[in-house]
Structure 1
Amino acid sequence: MSEEKITYADVEEYQSLFTLAPSFLLETFARRNTNLVLKFKSIIGSYMDSLTDIQKEKLYIILSTDIDELQGLMNEAYQRTQIKQYEVLSNPNYKQFINDNLDEIRSLLKYK
């Protein structure tokens, strides 16, 4: 795999996905460390089946990126947009929430 990184432009491109859940709900899920991927497994699985090769490559880059780096990117997105969902995802207290959900995506990909 290349040494590519996810950038703010990539985040901006998928802003609608980050804002699907209201920020207060996302924060509740994060605080409880809810496995959202498991809850929405069939929806996420069918979405992953429809990804283009470029989208799959970006997903693999995300899955191999350090959580601290991803949260830094979420903080940058929040600073630029003031979208609360980015603020929630940049909160260091929710690192485990992000890690666990990314691990679940990794598990889904193993069975594809």
Structure 2
Amino acid sequence: MLLDMHSSASASENSETRKPQKQYCEHHAECLKKIQAVLDGEASEAEKDHFRENMDDCLHCIKMYHLEKCVKEALQAKVDKRLCPDNLVQAIKTKLNIIS
């Protein structure tokens, strides 16, 4: 994933040249939306770039990314993917046609 590749590159940097990480994110809601878009594979290139840059200096966003990633993985593991029965599909389509 993006952060995994990014963190390994960051680890090899000289620690003296890195700036200190922020403990609090003043753009929490905006960053959360971008993190979710990245994890869902729906982020634009600009959002991915912002994500990578922000991960360099925002400890809060790094923690938020890991939490969101864990939640997404846990939900995906619990979802039972089954096909919907044909009679249910037809019943829904019929009701939608009546409403339209």
Higher relative contact order by CA 8 Å / sep ≥ 6: 1 or 2? 1
Greater Rg, structure 1 or structure 2? 2
Instruction: Give TM-score scaled by structure 1 length.
Output: 0.27
Question: If each structure's helix is expressed as a fraction of its own residues, which one has the higher value?
Answer: 1
